[in-house]
């Protein structure tokens, strides 16, 4: 299966990447999300359909979206500007417009890039008019300020050309008939960043598949415990003489569980609940780490809490984090609107979204969905047909079964989920 990367940038940037870079990529699908100005990038996050990574065209859109990106469950990267982009662009201006660097106004991420190329190239007449946006992000940034910077210098006769890193500034300078160009993103840098996004996506999937063990102390086995185990997609065990239950699952399912309202509710029961989560390269290591985490929970000064020890013996907790934003409630306006659009009940939509976020891979079968939602396979197939009919899911292939019968369809969801 190809790695799907959401590409967030201006129209010119995304079209350039699709035309020049995408044909050279193997095993990668780029899905463009386009803004007019970098401040609009944050609004695009809620429109992203399930993907394996998110890649921004630069630091500007990323910094405007940084807080929203914390809700994403996939790797997030941006194309970093560096000295190579600056040198390539200045050389292009010199070769094609015969204008030296000292007559060019420049806006870029960090003025340190100019200092570095001055030192490396021993420039006698380096660029004099440089404005960066590193210190103004994200709250003090203004497109007008940068457009005015170039316009004033040109009208005063101090510069003959403008080099901008901001596509919307370029558009305004064109309207003002000021000679200009956008900073060149070298193909090598683009290829390297896209491949890095793919590597991080694959690493994230491998990490999500890491074995997880949970050690739980509750006074009695009840429906809440069974429900929690089901959400973990795990198996519950209890040995004779052992005061704690053990659940085996995977890291991805556990990390998604921590974000749910059900997880928070479990630790608000009348009876005390202590839990230790452990990750490991083997089941034995995961269980050992879970036992260590449980010992920390037992010593903590609240009746109900959980800790995590990962495969590197790093401790985190306590959980639940009361300051952490919980899963959308069924009556949340965004949930209700999306449910209406998809022709599903808000409760079923919430379960489908949680099911999908729990998965390491994007594709699934109706049997897997029915097992998670605890409904019949026929009911799951009806839900999937409804999603396919309105363009919110698609069949990506078939899964051969060992028993006799028709191959089972493999599905992928395609509606916004973040």
Its pTM surpasses 0.85: no
In 3D space, the residue among 192, 168, 196 whose CA is nearest the CA of residue 52 turns out to be 196
Q: Kindly state whether residues 313 and 339 are assigned to the same domain.
A: no
Residue 325 lies in a domain: no
Q: Which of 292, 319, 346 is the last residue of a domain?
A: 319
Residues in CB range of 38: below 8 A, 6 or more apart: 58, 60, 61, 64, 166, 168
Residue 328 forms part of a structural domain: no
d(C-alpha 384, C-alpha 414), whole Å: 12
Q: Is the domain of 295 the same as that of 252? A: yes
Beta-carbon count within 10 A of 247 CB? 23
Task: Please give the Cα distance from 412 to 189 (Å, whole number).
Answer: 31
Domain with residue 301: its CATH number is 3.30.70.270
How many alpha carbons lie under 13 Å from residue 76 in its C-beta half-sphere?
19
Q: Is 36 a member of any domain?
A: yes
From CA 335, how far away is CA 387, in angstroms rounded?
A: 16
CATH number at residue 372: 1.10.10.10
Cβ–Cβ under 8 Å, residues 111 and 132: yes
Confidence at 324, pLDDT banded by 50, 70, 90: very low
Q: Is 326 a member of any domain?
A: no
Provide the H-helix boundaries in 300-373: 333-342, 346-358, 366-373
The answer to whether residues 149 and 278 belong to one domain is: no
pLDDT-derived band at 148, boundaries 50, 70, 90: very high
Top-confidence residue, 119 or 10: 10
Give the span between the Cα atoms of 364 and 351, in whole angstroms: 15
Residue 87: predicted pLDDT:
92
Highest mean pLDDT among 19-28, 150-159, 217-226, 338-347: 150-159
What b/e string do you get for 172-195 counting C-beta neighbours within 10 Å, with b at 16 or more? bbeeeebebbbbbbeeebbeebbe
309 and 381 assigned to the same domain: no
The overall average pLDDT reported for the chain is: 87
**Cβ within 8 Å of residue 145, ≥6 positions away:** none
Task: State residue 401's pLDDT score.
Answer: 60
Do 226 and 276 belong to one domain?
yes
Same-domain status, 356 and 408: yes
Q: H or E stretch including 11?
A: helix 11-16
Cβ atoms 317, 309 nearer than 8 A: no
Q: Is residue 418 in some structural domain?
A: no
Within 8 A by CB and 6+ apart from 361, the residues are 1, 205
Same-domain status, 55 and 110 = no
Whether residues 100 and 135 fall in one domain: yes
Contact (CB, 8 A) for 383 and 344: yes
**What are the CA-CA distances from residue 396 to residues 29, 47, 360 (Å)?**
14, 21, 16
Q: Specify if 201 maps to a domain.
A: yes
288 with 362, same domain: the answer is no
Residue 321's pLDDT is 72
Give the end of a domain, one of 319, 354, 385.
319
In a domain, 290, yes or no: yes
Cα–Cα dist 34/167, whole Å: 12
* Per-residue pLDDT at 325 exceeds 70: no
pLDDT at 404 over 50: yes
Both 166 and 294 in a single domain? no
Res 261 pLDDT > 90:
no
Give the range with max mean pLDDT: 28-32, 340-344, 346-350.
Answer: 28-32
Are 61 and 43 in contact by the 8 Å Cβ rule? The answer is no
Verify that 124 and 201 share a domain, yes or no.
no
As a whole number of angstroms, the distance between CA 26 and CA 20 comes to: 14
Is residue 35, in this structure, part of any structural domain at all? yes
Residue-level pLDDT at 353: 85
CA–CA distance, 4 with 414 (Å, rounded to integer): 12
Q: Among 259, 288, 319, identify where a domain stops.
A: 319
The arithmetic mean of pLDDT across residues 280-287, rounded, is 93
- Give the CATH number for residue 110: 3.40.50
Task: Give the domain range for residue 358.
Answer: 333-413
**Are residue 148 and residue 274 in the same domain, yes or no?**
no
Query: Is residue 132 scored above 70 in pLDDT?
Result: yes
Total domains in the chain come to 4
């Amino acid at each position: 299966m190809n790695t799907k990367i959401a590409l967030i940038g201006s129209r010119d940037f995304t079209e350039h990447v699709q035309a020049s870079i995408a044909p050279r990529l193997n095993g990668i699908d780029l899905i463009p999300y386009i803004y007019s100005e970098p401040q609009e990038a944050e609004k695009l996050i809620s429109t992203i359909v399930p993907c394996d990574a998110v890649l921004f065209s630069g630091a500007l859109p990323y910094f405007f979206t940084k807080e929203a990106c914390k809700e994403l469950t996939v790797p997030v990267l941006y194309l970093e500007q560096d000295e190579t982009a600056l040198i390539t662009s200045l050389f292009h201006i010199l070769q094609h417009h015969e204008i030296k660097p000292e007559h060019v106004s420049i806006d870029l991420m960090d003025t340190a890039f100019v200092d570095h190329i001055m030192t490396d190239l021993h420039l006698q007449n380096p660029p004099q008019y440089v404005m960066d946006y590193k210190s103004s992000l994200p709250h003090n940034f203004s497109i007008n300020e940068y457009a005015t910077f170039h316009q004033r210098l040109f009208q005063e006769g101090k510069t003959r050309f403008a080099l901008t890193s901001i596509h919307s500034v370029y558009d305004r300078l064109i309207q003002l008939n000021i000679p200009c160009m956008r900073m060149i993103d070298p193909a090598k840098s683009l290829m390297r960043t896209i491949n890095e996004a793919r590597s991080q996506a694959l690493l994230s999937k491998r990490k999500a598949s890491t074995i997880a063990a949970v050690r739980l102390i509750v006074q009695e086995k009840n429906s809440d415990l069974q429900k929690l185990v089901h959400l973990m997609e795990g198996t519950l065990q209890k040995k004779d003489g052992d005061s704690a239950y053990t659940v085996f699952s995977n890291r991805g399912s556990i990390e998604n569980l921590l974000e749910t309202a059900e997880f928070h509710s479990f630790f608000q029961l009348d009876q005390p609940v202590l839990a230790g989560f452990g990750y490991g390269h083997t089941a034995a290591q995961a269980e050992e780490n879970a036992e260590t985490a449980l010992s920390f929970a037992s010593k903590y000064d609240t009746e109900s809490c959980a800790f995590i020890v990962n495969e590197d013996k790093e401790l985190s907790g306590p959980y639940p984090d009361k300051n952490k934003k919980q899963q959308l409630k069924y009556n949340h306006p965004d949930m209700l609107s999306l449910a209406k659009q998809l022709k599903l009940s808000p409760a079923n939509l919430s379960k489908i979204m949680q099911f999908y976020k729990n998965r390491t891979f994007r594709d699934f079968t109706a049997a897997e969905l029915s097992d998670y939602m605890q409904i019949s396979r026929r009911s799951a197939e009806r839900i999937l047909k409804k999603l396919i009919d309105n363009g919110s899911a698609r069949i990506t292939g078939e899964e051969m079964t060992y028993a006799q019968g028709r191959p089972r369809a493999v599905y992928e969801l395609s509606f916004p989920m973040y």
